[in-house]
Structure 1
Amino acid sequence: MYKMKRYLGVVFTLYLVCCVATQECPKYHYEEQILSKVVRLEHRLEMMEEKGNKEVKVCSHCPDGWIKYKGSCYLFVENKLSFDAAQANCQCLHGHLVHIENENENAFLRNHLRTLKDSLMWIGLTDSETEGVFKWIDDSSTVSFTDWSPKQPDNSGNKEDCVEFYPDLKWNDRNCEASLRSICENKLKLTLQS
């Protein structure tokens, strides 16, 4: 803020010197206009600083039926759909099939799946572009954290390109046309708050 005020003061002074030296402007009228502009600019700077000093906080609630964990909301969808249809359904709900970033998020999902009768659920991971190169469907990033069931992924019958939570609550590759329940994720929106 101090540097900006100093800069505006220098600009104002240079303008007055040029104006007086060339005798092209009535001094009083232009000084008044410039002073008014400087005051407005200072006010704008103060407002910008206030906004800059506000903390960015995450909205604290999820839509009805969704479960909050860290910076996301999760929906465990009952309808059994193919992988592509499950992703389209999540998009209609303003989300995407879950993108599991780390062990903690995976443990949270596994703990919730233990409470459900059917734990077979699509997650947003696929190797449909290149066999063996698993990418998250929401941002096409390559998987870094994994939690595969023993001997998985195996691409059984050369037809398994999509990933599910398996009954052992680990990951398994499966035919993308299988009808399964799914987990949608929706990132909480950021809002400015004092």
Structure 2
Amino acid sequence: MQQSLVFLIYFFSVVSIFSHDVVQRTANYRMKRKPKDYHLYTSRVNWTEAVKQCESKGMELVSILSKEENDNLIGSIKEAGQGKIGFWTSGNRLETNGTFYWFNRSQVTFTDWETGKPDNRVIDGEEEECIEVKGFGVLKWNDNFCSHSLYYICETNN
């Protein structure tokens, strides 16, 4: 009986130490992976209104400058249980004759386009000129009509 008790105490001590170590490493990993805070909004607005909404909250519509940022953003969307409706990013080519730029005026260099995108559709004279993280569970980039109503993501830098 006493040996069993000693074994159980030893066993739970080892499990407790191991569990604490795993949790600590995970928490530190997440902290290092998240250089930005993302704020996902699930009211549907057009791209111009998404820009205004972020600004009214003291933030900017999200810019995705690297694979790491893209992975963090997609992770945030999944953690929030979202992905059926697309999210506006700040990427657009409204004033640049075909070249996509972020809201901060830096050119889009890293991309994560859905296969076949951008496809530059034009309907009734309107061109697809704004970048969304596509919904329907796809979570890849898509060029879309800026007038469409989608969710949006604001960001703040830590």
1:85 deviates by 0.4
User: Deviation per CA, 1:56-111, whole angstroms, max 9, x where unpaired?
Assistant: xxxxxxxxxxxx96332110011111101001100111111101111111111112
2:121 aligned partner: 156
Q: Give 1:172's match in structure 2, choosing from 132, 142, 145.
A: 142
Matched, 1:144 2:114: no
Matched, 1:70 2:34: yes
Q: Give 1:82's match in structure 2, choosing from 16, 21, 46.
A: 46
TM-score (normalizing by structure 1): 0.58
CA RMSD of aligned residues (A): 1.7
1:186 deviates by 1.1
> Is 1:96–1:185's contact at 8 Å kept on the other side of the alignment?
yes
> Is 1:98–1:185's contact at 8 Å kept on the other side of the alignment?
yes
Spell out structure 1 runs of 4+ moving beyond 6 A.
none
User: Deviation per CA, 1:131-190, whole angstroms, max 9, x where unpaired?
Assistant: 3200001x11101111001111111015100010113111000000101100100112xx
Higher relative contact order (CA 8 A, sep 6+): 2
Q: State how 1:1-194 maps to structure 2 within 5 Å.
A: 70-114=34-78, 115-116=81-82, 118-137=84-103, 139-157=104-122, 159-167=127-135, 168-188=138-158
CA distance in 2, matches of 1:132, 1:153: 11
CA distance in 2, matches of 1:97, 1:143: 14
CA distance in 1, matches of 2:46, 2:108: 21
CA distance in 1, matches of 2:152, 2:93: 18
- Give the AA of the match of 2:45: L
1:120–1:127 distance in 2 versus 1, CA, 3 Å? same
> Is 1:131–1:161's contact at 8 Å kept on the other side of the alignment?
no
- Percent identical pairs in the alignment equals 33
How many residue pairs are counted as aligned between the two chains?
A: 120
Unmatched 5+ stretches in structure 1:
1-67, 189-194
